[in-house]
Each structure stands twice: as structure tokens, then as C-alpha cells.
Amino acid sequence: MDNSRTMEIAVGAFVAAGLAALFVLAMQVSNITAFQRTEGYTVDAYFQNVGGLRERAPVSLSGVQIGRVSAIRLDPDRFEARVELTIRSEYDNLPSDTAARVRTSGLLGEQYVSLQPGGMPDSLGPGDEITLTQSALVLEEIVGQFLYEQSSGDDQ
């Protein structure tokens, strides 16, 4: 009797572990979750084109990661991408004229937001907007521009 009770508990724990594992796969591996939130304050930045930037991509300054992209959505009035950056609370002294640009790590790597500090004495606070932004480089546009300049150069 005691033996079969242990067995029942073991099987129950096994099935529970399997279901828990499925839950972990669903939440952590496949879908976007509320886990792993970066603590800090958020600032907004508007970009004309965010390229392949994704939510939870790193935000870095001088190559050091200081936060994450917490949300990307289209602003319906400005027709620009509104990127919400969550910056860790220990970096609360960024100048208010800090510039943001979307960059790519390596040639084919993931895209991230790079910040460049300005020189203003007052600092960015929660909910502020970064006004100086530079959009992602889209390879097709650069190639297209290059080809266009090449051909116009030939005509002269």
C-alpha cells in the first residue's frame, strides 16, 4: 500500500512536470511574455523606419547595454514607429538631447538601439521623448541609391 502510494505520487509528479514543461515551452520559448522585465524608466523615440528591430532588443550606449526595447508600435498620427525604451534606473543622468539610432550588430546580426549622449545639462526623465533619431539602414535603399548614382554618373 505504501509502495503504491509512492508510485502514485511519482507518476503524478512526472505528469505535472511534463505539463509544466509544455507551459514553459509555450510561454518562454514561443510566445512573448511578461517575464524578464527590465526594471527602470521608459523614454519614447520616434523612428521613420525601425527596420528589423524587435521588442526586447538591447539598448546600448558606447557598446554597453543599458536597457531594452520594451514596445514598438505605429503612431497613428505621425505615421512613425514609436519605440519605447526601458532604461535601467541607475542610468538616470542621460542628457536630454541624447540621440538614438537603430544599428545592426555585425553584418547580419540583430538590430539594436544605440544611444549617443548629447551635452545638455538637464537629463532625460520617465516618459520623455528622444527627438534626435536616425532610422535603420535598409540595405536595399543603400544599394538602390548607389546604383542610381552610378547610372546618373555615367550619363554625364
Partner 1 sequence: MIGMLQRLGASTLETAATLGRAVLFLLRVLRGSGELIRRPGLLVHEMYSVGVLTLVIIVVSGLFVGMVLALQGYYTLVDFGAEQSLGVLVALSLTRELGPVVTALLFAGRAGSALTAEIGLMKATEQLAGMEMMAVDPEHRVIAPRLAAAILSLPLLTVIFNVLGVTGAWLVSVNLLGVDGGSFWSQMQSQVSFSDDILNGLIKSVMFGVVAGWIAVFNGYDCRPTSHGVSRATTRTVVVTSLIVLGLDFVLTALMFD
Q: Is 63 in the site for partner 1 (CB under 8 A)?
A: no
Q: Is 21 in the site for partner 1 (CB under 8 A)?
A: yes
Report the DSSP beta bridge partners of residue 103. 112
Cα–Cα distance for residue pair 54/56, rounded to 1 Å: 6
Q: Is 54 in the site for partner 1 (CB under 8 A)?
A: yes
Beta strands in 7-92, from DSSP E residues, in sequence order: 40-47, 58-61, 64-75, 80-88
Among 44, 51, 56, 99, binds partner 1 (CB under 8 A): 56
Contacts of 60 (CB under 8 A, 6+ apart): 66, 112, 113, 114, 115
Q: How far is the CB of 37 from partner 1 (least distance, A)?
A: 11
Query: By rule CB under 8 A, what string of x and - marks binding of each residue 77-106 to partner 1?
Result: ----------------------------xx
Cβ neighbours around 39 below 10 Å, total: 9
Residues contributing to the site for partner 1 (CB under 8 A): 4, 7-8, 10-11, 13-15, 17-19, 21-22, 24-26, 28-33, 36, 38, 54-58, 65, 68, 105-110
